[in-house]
Chains A and B, each alone.
Chain A
Amino acid sequence: MTVLRWVRRAAWSAVTVLGFLMLATSAGWLVTDGPLADREVASGPASLPIGGPFSLTDHRRRAVTEADFRGRPMAVFFGFTHCPDVCPTTLGDMTALIEALGPDADRLHWLFVSVDWERDTPEALAGYLEAFDPRIVGLSGTEAQVAQAARSFRVYYRRVPTEGGGYTMDHSASVFLLDAAGRFAGTLDSKESREVALEKVRMLASR
């Protein structure tokens, strides 16, 4: 009979251990990846070296650096004003996000950095941005300043000559999200839905 008792004890111990393991794993999942996890904005690790020093002029002719935008998260897009298609689409998306966020939109900086240092003077930027939400700040600078800003954000851009002596610009198309301390917090992609983008900026604003 003692043998049976030992077997029973061993079986119950096994059940207890297994139960504990199951509880621990599911609890672990709950708080790391599950519904109780901290919600992350970033689609990439915050340690990615995107975002850094820049020195540019805004569309109101004010000289600014990255330090002027600290303390609030930011959404940054690189483009140029002689861009009839993608840049207005992105700035239109930004305007729609700002409107959807309502007063919370003021907790973020919304930046449009032109990589067209030659044509995009503060006046050109101001005129172009008239069609969009007034909270979007236009930035550009000298060739060297634009190069530095692009390096800080790991942005690719290139001037491409066109027939007739003009030129167009190739440029990275993402909107970069940075937290209030200037750390990379993800991107907005032109192909994702407005709901996804809104959720990302909403979480960024609440941080």
Chain B
Amino acid sequence: MRTLLRGLAAAALALATAIPAASAQPGDVAVSGAWTRAVGATAPTAAGYMTLRNRGASPDRLVGAETPAARSVEIHEQRMEEGVMRMRPLPGGITLPPGEAVTLGPGGMHLMLVGPTRALARGERVPLTLRFERAGEIRVELSVEAAGARQPAHAGH
């Protein structure tokens, strides 16, 4: 009986150390509704929008992204102050508080695809790799919506 208890305790300890609370597990960050908008071949930039949900117990951070469809990807925020639009890079990335969802969307935070390498046509899908401080790399696909669309075609109105 004592051996059994000791065995159980050891197993519990092993389990507990195998899942340290402070480190993110694969799947701790869920990405949904990733989309972009159609641009011409010579467009200097394009945008990336999505919802990032941190299902883990610790804060995480989106620190970067890359796609074969653009020279580089920057993380930006857009603010409207007294009728003036101001766009600024977020060099520190985007913080994802535990248990919360953060949405990147038109008029707010977004990824800026700098120097698209080709035209993005409505209906196609663009691969994108997101880099998180804890959750590591997550690969997603951006669905290409109409130029200047305010939301993805399948979103509720």
Contacts and interface: CB of A to CB of B under 8 A. Distances in A.
Contacts of B147: 88, 91-92, 95, 131-132
A173 B112 contact: no
B13 interface: no
A142 interface: no
Given A84-B45, A84-B110, A170-B86, A131 B80 contact: no
A123 B86 CA distance: 25
B150 interface: yes
Contacts of B39: 88, 131
Interface in B19-52: 37-47
Given A84-B45, A131-B39, A95 B148 contact: yes
A207 B8 CA distance: 84
A131 B148 contact: yes
B156 interface: no
B142 to A, nearest CB: 13
Nearest to A80: B44
Interface residues of B, number: 32
B65 to A, nearest CB: 13
A85 interface: yes
A176 B56 CA distance: 47
A201 B68 CA distance: 40
Please indicate which of the listed interface residues B38, B46, B84 has the most CB atoms of chain A within 10 Å of its own CB. B84
Interface residues of A, number: 34
Q: Which of B44, B78, B80, B85 has the most CB of A within 10 A?
A: B85
A196 interface: no
B87 A86 contact: yes
A84 B85 contact: no
B41 A127 contact: yes
Contacts of B139: none
Contacts of A162: 88-89
9 contacts: A82-B44, A82-B45, A85-B47, A89-B150, A92-B146, A131-B43, A171-B85, A172-B84, A190-B80
Given A84-B46, A84-B113, A89-B148, 7 more contacts: A84-B45, A95-B148, A130-B42, A131-B38, A131-B43, A168-B87, A173-B84
The 8 closest A-B pairs by CB, nearest first: A92-B148, A127-B42, A131-B147, A130-B40, A84-B45, A84-B47, A88-B148, A173-B85
